[in-house]
Amino acid sequence: MNKLIIANWKMNPASIEEARKLAAETDVEGLIICPPFPFLEAVAKTIKKAKLGAQDVFWMNPPTPLAGQAGAYTGEVSAEELKSLCVEYVIIGHSERRQNLGETDEMVAKKIKTVLDAGLTPILCVGETKAEHEAGKTKEIVKRELKIGLSYIPHLTSNIQLVIAYEPIWAIGTGTPDTPENMLNMVKFIRGVASDWPLATRIIYGGSVTSRNAENFLKHKEISGALVGGAQS
């Protein structure tokens, strides 16, 4: 199966012209480009081979069954709105959102459900902090994030496409990736936890992947791809 490479642009670039240029330069098969919301449409119109992803989503689609709440979420963007811009994938639960913006496992679970309901593919990010890693809590943390994150998907649901990105937080943007051996161990562990659901799950690695070390991960059939943030080389 072809590898999936997710390009998380984070809050870059600064202008729509740069976004168009960057999208044109990186428009290749197998790449999923995740620009900031304001550039989604421009990138959608530029790319021909790559696919489009979003970096986040709100957990409800208007109109909502919650009386009096329909659409009243200033600043939020729904899965249906993303879909109307040709978005196919949505990053959910990125550690920067969990750590800096108060995103909880419960919010992540609701977002996963909303995205699946809209027919889009969630990219669920899981991973432990440096302190948790050093305390030997990696699997405990990842298991909790998966169990709660997937908890709104009925166990009998089949034919669901899901991408799980194992991203150890201590490896993101640090220049120090995890080892492929540990990633293989985590793939086995994640597959075991996710096996409660009959999902078509692809498990990818994220954290200081560059063009120089990517092959170390991608050469393994168990690792379905990579999530790349700031790679310049």
167 is catalytic: yes
Q: Count Cβ atoms below 10 Å from residue 119 Cβ, excluding itself.
A: 11
| Piece in contact with ligand PEP (CB under 6 A), picked from 74-82, 153-161, 200-208, 216-224 | 200-208
Residue 37's contacts (CB-CB under 8 Å, 6 or more residues apart) are 54, 55, 77
> Smallest gap, in angstroms, from Cβ of residue 75 to ligand PEP?
22
145 is catalytic: no
Quote the tokens at residue 174: 């640090």
Work out whether 36 is an interface residue with ligand PEP (CB under 6 A).
Answer: no
Residue ranges with strand state E in 185-231:
199-206, 225-228
The C-alpha atoms of residue 106 and residue 58 are separated, in whole angstroms, by 13
> Smallest gap, in angstroms, from Cβ of residue 44 to ligand PEP?
22
Work out whether 8 is an interface residue with ligand PEP (CB under 6 A).
Answer: yes
Q: Which is nearer to ligand PEP, 8 or 201 (CB)?
A: 8
Work out whether 206 is an interface residue with ligand PEP (CB under 6 A).
Answer: yes
Which of 46, 55, 114, 208: binder of ligand PEP (CB under 6 A)?
A: 208
Which of 167, 201, 202, 203: binder of ligand PEP (CB under 6 A)?
A: 167
Residue 170's contacts (CB-CB under 8 Å, 6 or more residues apart) are 128, 129, 130, 133, 176, 207
Work out whether 86 is an interface residue with ligand PEP (CB under 6 A).
Answer: no
> Smallest gap, in angstroms, from Cβ of residue 210 to ligand PEP?
8
Q: Point out which residues pair with 161 in neighbouring strands.
A: 200
Angle between helices 138-149 and 105-117 in degrees, nearest 10:
40
Q: Is 41 helix (H, G, I), strand (E, B) or coil?
A: helix
Binding site for ligand PEP (CB under 6 A): 8, 167, 172-173, 206-209, 227-231
Catalytic residues: 94, 167
